[in-house]
Amino acid sequence: MYEALERAADVCGPLEQALAAPDAAVRIGTLRQALGETAERVSAATAQAASDYDRDAMQKIYRGLLAAQRIVATLHETNAAAA
């Protein structure tokens, strides 16, 4: 379920380095896409959750992934504006 994030982490490296890299737009785009893809997979898996507790936990993960996607975008925009 988290394969896209693992691949993005391998490609992008730590977030601080990705934000400062000359190809930051590409790296951040890769990371945002991976967060979105993972959120979609978690959302799809939520329907198959075995219990209400599991479903609630997966919904929290889903919302966290979407929030992370927005945070990464904001950090990139702020960093680009400061440069």
Q: In the predicted model, is pLDDT for residue 74 greater than 90?
A: yes
Write out pLDDT tens, residues 21-50: 999 999 999 999 999 999 999 999 998 999
User: How many distinct structural domains can be found in the chain?
Assistant: 1
Q: In the predicted model, is pLDDT for residue 83 greater than 80?
A: no
Domain that holds residue 23: 3-82
Considering the chain, what is the average pLDDT of its residues? 95
pLDDT band at 53 (very low <50, low <70, confident <90, very high): very high
pTM: 0.92
Mean pLDDT of the region 9-14: 94
The share of the chain scoring above pLDDT 70, in percent, equals 100
CA angle 57, 65, 28 (to 5 degrees): 165
Among the residues of the chain, which ranges form H helices? 3-12, 15-20, 24-46, 52-82
